[in-house]
């Protein structure tokens, strides 16, 4: 083949290659043009927003919760400023992020690995990750000094809930916590979102929607290193509405001091309208603990403490009422006309019922008694006989009429219903018939009966006010930030028990005699007339529980009390003295001279008692 032929073939191949190269260049330029057209024209708006998102960040400003006052306008829960540290790792490399977290850990004494795990778990929402709350001021100053070396780190002042008296009324007030998945599903339509702090118990939970307010926010321009440049726009948070409670700080404090070091509950109610003046449960807890994010182990420790500090005994616990229930048995017997004021029964210290001997607390017996004396002396044998005359099912009927075995309706979570058994209940639950021994036990408040301290406060209240069952309520008013009244809560009647005035008069005489000459003499004041009843509830798991209920003054009652001391023993020696201390404080605080107390020879003694030689004629 000639050289010229070879040259022509090479030139042809070269021309073809150049043609393909031109096609490749044209295709590449076309692709680049289409891509640029897409970015500059088609996706311009979307990319602009994305760019702005990296340059502009939104900071949420939580709303301060409303203040909580007692009935006299004293602040018991408010907000204080708290420093929080937020971190936005946008535009930071992994190495830079890790270096910054190490520096933060050294300044704040925080675990580097925990912070790193939190940042990595928030990768889908890498803006304003909360790393620390309630940072002390000295640490804040250190962070401020190092701010230039900590890009993406921001310090925010946020409202922190502050319970002024720590454990004071903790079960009634409740505590806060971060919203959980189940709560979020239920409340998301109401504007709640992930990370919100909400009421978890007590008033904080029930009135959360009023207390929480509306969060605000700021649009902040940031530089490439995550440092704030300027605030573009902002919406101020709106403080939540405030609550004025029915609670009286002084009475609550008296009740808490009386029960200090014991397990139990005290309820104080105004019998004229159902206002809750005090609600105490011991052991208790400090709600301030929950304003910081507790570790799972610390939370578990609180909720599994054998002393049950998170358990609201005043409304959630259930105990046998003991001799307090003799009020119910007496009302049933008088209304059913199986006994009158002139009738008497004999107590010889025990009563044989079938093949079992039922004993009285007084071994030698009380002798012959009328119903007033039986209430005053709390004679068991008298009420065994009286209960058998009335019948178990009729006693149960009156107990339910008087508000037992039903929730009273206090606006707090998890109120106990209690239990009043009858023959039908026993047949269903045990497959057994109702025996006379069951009636005898029920007549003195033992057996299957279960009541809460709040129910016992309601029972003595209806005796005081003439048979009205009020719904106990704990909030008087809801007010806004300018103290304008948004809502006022009025007393609500849950029921009116049809009890004759004669029956009420006899029961009241018995309760007054209990104080003057019976088992409640520890409440015998010179200038204050108290009506009360002691109770001792048998406890198969240990020492008996001690009860006492009362109201005062006799003529125009303004306070009804129910006192329960777990494992306290006898009501007369363990619970009644606490009620005396409370009433002494309440009426002394109202300007009355401190009353003296006289104790009879029958042995109702107390560390608060003052003996008198003029009392030698007492039985």
DSSP 217-244: EEEEEE-TTS-EEEEEEEE--BPPPEEE
Q: Is residue 295 predicted with pLDDT exceeding 80?
A: no
Residue position matching structure tokens 């700021």: 218
pLDDT given at position 502: 97
Q: Are residues 473 and 417 in the same domain?
A: yes
- The whole-angstrom separation of Cα 198 and Cα 186 is 13
Q: Is 296 contained in some domain?
A: no
Q: Contact, 399 vs 390, CB < 8 A?
A: no
* pLDDT confidence of residue 121: 74
CATH number of residue 164's parent domain: 3.90.1310.10
pLDDT at 597 > cutoff 50? no
Domain match, 384 and 532 both? yes
Q: Residue 544 class from Cβ within 10 Å (0-12 exposed, 13-18 middle, 19+ buried)?
A: buried
Cβ-proximal residues to 350 (8 Å cutoff; 6+ apart), any chain: 357, 358, 359, 360, 365, 381
What is the per-residue pLDDT for 591?
44
In this prediction, residue 292 carries a pLDDT of 78
Closest CA to 349 of 330, 372, 325, 366: 366
Mark whether 173 and 101 lie in a shared domain. yes
pLDDT of residue 3: 59
pLDDT of residue 14: 65
Of 594 and 611, the one with more pLDDT: 594
**3-state DSSP assignment of residue 589:** helix
Assign residue 516 the CATH number of its domain.
3.40.710.10
H helical segments located in 317-405: 326-335, 371-377, 380-390, 392-401
What is the pLDDT, as a whole number, of residue 29? 75
Peptide bond into 91 cis (omega under 30): no
Strand bridging mode 68-69 / 242-245: parallel
Round the average pLDDT of the chain to a whole number and report it: 87
Question: In this predicted model, which residue has the larger pLDDT, 521 or 18?
Answer: 521
Is 306 within a domain? no
Q: Is the pLDDT of residue 476 over 90?
A: yes
233 located within any domain:
yes
What pLDDT, on a 0 to 100 scale, did the predictor assign at position 297? 76
Is pLDDT above 60 for 103?
A: yes
Phi, psi at residue 197, to the nearest 5°?
-95, 125
Lowest mean pLDDT among 72-81, 85-94, 116-125: 116-125
236 and 255 assigned to the same domain = no
Q: What is the DSSP string of 43-97?
A: THHHHHHHHHHHHEEEEEEPPPPPPEE-TTS-EEEEEEEEEEEEE--TT--HHHH
Above pLDDT 90, what percent of the chain? 60
Q: Is residue 48 a part of any domain in this protein?
A: no
Give the structural domain span for 345.
Answer: 249-287+316-615
Q: What per-residue confidence (pLDDT) applies to 170?
A: 97
| 445 plus 586 within the same structural domain | yes
Q: 599, 606 in Cβ contact below 8 A?
A: yes
Residue 287 predicted with pLDDT over 70: yes
In a domain, 603, yes or no: yes
Reported pTM? 0.82
Q: What is the pLDDT of residues 574-587, one digit of tens each?
A: 999 999 999 999 99
In a domain? residue 301: no
What 8-state DSSP symbol labels residue 480? Answer: -
Residue where a domain stops, chosen among 184, 218, 243? 243
Q: How confident is the model at residue 174 (pLDDT cuts 50, 70, 90)?
A: very high
Kindly state whether residues 479 and 521 are assigned to the same domain.
Answer: yes
E strand or H helix that includes residue 140: helix 137-145
Query: Is the pLDDT assigned to residue 449 strictly greater than 60?
Result: yes
| Per-residue confidence band for 616, with pLDDT thresholds at 50, 70 and 90 | very low
DSSP per-residue string spanning 416-471: ---B---HHHHHHHHS-PPPHHHHHHHHTT-TT-BB-HHHHHHHHHHHHHTSEEEP
How do residues 195-236 score in pLDDT, each as one tens digit? 788 999 999 999 999 999 998 887 777 666 666 677 788 888
Average pLDDT over residues 74-89: 90
Is pLDDT at 523 greater than 60 in this prediction?
Answer: yes
Alpha carbon distance 519, 551 (integer Å): 15
**What pLDDT shows up at residue 612?**
31
Mention every residue, 6+ apart, whose C-beta is less than 8 A from residue 380.
323, 347, 358, 359, 360, 361, 444
| φ and ψ of 444, to 5 deg | -110, 15
Residue 124 pLDDT greater than 70, yes or no: no
Q: Is residue 156 part of a domain?
A: yes
pLDDT at 350 over 70: yes
CB neighbours (10 Å) of residue 575? 31
Q: Which of 123-132, 140-149, 262-271 has the lowest mean pLDDT?
A: 123-132
Shared domain check, 484 and 338:
yes
- Picking from 225, 243, 261, the residue at the C-terminal end of a domain is 243
307-323 residue pLDDT tens? 999 999 999 999 999 99
In a domain, 307, yes or no: no
Q: Is the same domain home to 268 and 234?
A: no
Inter-residue contact 565 to 548 (CB < 8 Å): no
189 and 74 within one domain: yes
Together in a domain, 220 and 277: no
Look at residues 204, 211, 200 and name the one whose alpha carbon lies nearest to residue 173.
204
pLDDT for the residue numbered 609: 33
For the ranges 168-177, 480-489, 605-614, the lowest mean pLDDT is seen at 605-614
Residues 82 and 169 in one domain: yes
Number of structural domains in the chain: 3
pLDDT tens for residues 351-397?
999 999 999 999 999 999 999 999 999 999 999 999 999 999 999 99
9 and 99 assigned to the same domain:
no
Q: What is the pLDDT of residue 303?
A: 84
In tens, the pLDDT along 245-284 reads: 999 999 999 999 999 999 999 999 999 999 999 999 999 9
Answer whether residue 49 shows pLDDT above 90.
no
With a cut of 70, say whether residue 147 has pLDDT above it.
yes
Distance CA 419, CA 407 (A): 11
User: What is the C-alpha separation between 418 and 450, in angstroms, rounded?
Assistant: 5
């Amino acid at each position: 083949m000639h050289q010229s032929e070879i040259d022509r073939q090479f030139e042809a191949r070269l021309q073809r290659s150049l043609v393909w190269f031109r096609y490749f260049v044209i295709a590449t330029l076309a692709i680049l043009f289409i891509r640029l057209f897409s970015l500059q024209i088609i996706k311009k708006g979307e990319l602009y927003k994305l760019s702005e998102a990296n340059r502009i960040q939104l900071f949420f400003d939580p709303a301060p919760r409303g203040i909580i006052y007692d009935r006299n306008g004293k602040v018991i829960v408010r907000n204080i400023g708290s420093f929080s540290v937020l971190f936005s790792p946008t535009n930071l490399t992994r190495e830079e992020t890790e270096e910054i977290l190490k520096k933060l850990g050294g300044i704040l004494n925080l675990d580097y690995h925990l912070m790193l795990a939190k940042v990595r778990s928030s990768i889908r929402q890498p803006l304003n990750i909360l790393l620390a709350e309630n940072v002390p001021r000295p640490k804040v100053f250190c962070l401020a000094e190092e701010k230039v070396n900590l890009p993406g780190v921001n310090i925010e002042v946020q409202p922190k809930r502050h319970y002024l008296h720590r454990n004071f009324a903790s079960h009634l007030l409740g505590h806060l916590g971060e919203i959980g998945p189940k709560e979020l599903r239920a409340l998301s339509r109401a504007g709640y979102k992930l990370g919100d702090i909400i009421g978890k118990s007590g008033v904080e939970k029930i009135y959360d929607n009023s207390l929480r307010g509306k969060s605000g926010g700021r649009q902040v321009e940031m530089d490439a290193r995550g440092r704030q440049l300027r605030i573009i726009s902002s919406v101020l948070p709106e403080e939540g509405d405030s609550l004025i409670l029915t609670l009286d700080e002084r009475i609550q404090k008296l009740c808490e001091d009386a029960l200090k070091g014991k397990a139990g509950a005290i309820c104080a109610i105004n019998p004229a309208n159902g206002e809750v003046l005090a609600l105490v449960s011991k052991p208790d807890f400090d709600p301030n603990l929950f304003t910081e994010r507790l570790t799972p182990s610390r939370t578990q420790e609180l909720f599994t403490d054998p002393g049950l500090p998170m358990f609201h005994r005043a409304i959630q616990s259930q105990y046998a009422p003991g001799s307090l229930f003799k009020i119910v048995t007496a009302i049933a017997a008088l209304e059913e006309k199986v006994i009158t004021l002139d009738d008497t029964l004999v107590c010889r210290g025990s009563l044989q019922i079938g093949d079992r001997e039922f004993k009285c607390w007084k071994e030698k017996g009380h002798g012959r008694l009328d119903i007033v004396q039986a209430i005053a002396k709390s004679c068991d044998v008298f009420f065994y006989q009286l209960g058998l005359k009335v019948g178990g099912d009729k006693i149960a009927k009156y107990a339910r009429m008087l508000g037992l075995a039903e929730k009273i309706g206090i606006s707090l979570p998890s109120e106990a219903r209690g239990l009043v058994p009858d023959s039908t209940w026993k047949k269903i639950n045990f497959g057994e018939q109702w025996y006379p021994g069951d009636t005898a036990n029920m007549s003195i408040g033992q057996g299957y009966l279960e009541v809460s301290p709040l129910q016992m406060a309601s029972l003595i209240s209806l005796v005081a006010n003439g048979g009205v069952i009020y719904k106990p309520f704990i909030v008087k008013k809801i007010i806004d930030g300018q103290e304008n009244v948004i809502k006022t809560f009025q007393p609500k009647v849950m029921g009116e028990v049809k009890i004759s005035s004669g029956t009420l008069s006899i029961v009241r005489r018995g309760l007054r005699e209990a104080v003057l000459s019976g088992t409640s003499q520890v409440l015998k004041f010179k200038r204050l007339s108290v009506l009360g009843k002691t109770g001792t509830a048998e406890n198969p798991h240990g020492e008996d529980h001690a009860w006492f209920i009362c109201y005062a003054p006799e003529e125009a009652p303004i306070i009804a009390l129910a006192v329960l001391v777990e494992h306290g023993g006898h009501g007369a020696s363990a619970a009644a003295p606490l009620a005396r201390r409370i009433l002494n404080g309440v009426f002394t605080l109202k300007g009355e001279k401190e009353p003296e107390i006289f104790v009879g020879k029958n042995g109702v003694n107390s560390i608060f008692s003052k003996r008198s030689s003029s009392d030698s004629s007492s039985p």
